[in-house]
Amino acid sequence: MTIVTRSAAVVLLAAAAAIALAQAGGQPAASPAHEASASAAARLAAAEKACRFLHDLSDGSPIAHETLEHSYLWSLRRFEAQRDVELAKDHGVAAARRHLDHVRALAAKVAGANAKGAFSTFDVAATEYYVAEAEELLAKARAK
């Protein structure tokens, strides 16, 4: 799938989400807790769709899309939404673990490709930071 096709898919996804939110405007007001839960679930569903473009379809491994930071940002968004959905259950530990697993896999892929000249040493350093940040997020979730 080309970058243009992926970008178009992300734009269509955002448009569909905006339409769905606009249509929900005529519904009776829900409680703030219900709205927050529904918002988190909607964000998680949208982030999952976007993240599908950031994984190799043949083996499921993460791929760099546009930039490494772009891939990391979508993983972080998915983590935040999943954490908010599952907060009462485990304080976001499962979400943080999933995010950490994703960035570790991305870092390993970048390090391997860097040996072949595909990424810069900056990209390697950036993924090392992403892993360290994800480890901190997991530690904070476990401490709650």
Its pTM stands at: 0.69
Residue pair 71/110 in contact (Cβ under 8 Å)? The answer is no
Asked if pLDDT for residue 14 goes beyond 60, the answer is: no
Rounded to 10 degrees, the C-alpha dihedral 104/99/77/120 comes to 0
Averaged pLDDT, 20-39: 63
Percent of the chain with pLDDT over 90: 38
Q: What is the pLDDT of residue 11?
A: 46
| Pairwise CA distance, residues 95 & 65, whole Å | 22
Q: Which residue has the higher pLDDT, 26 or 122?
A: 122
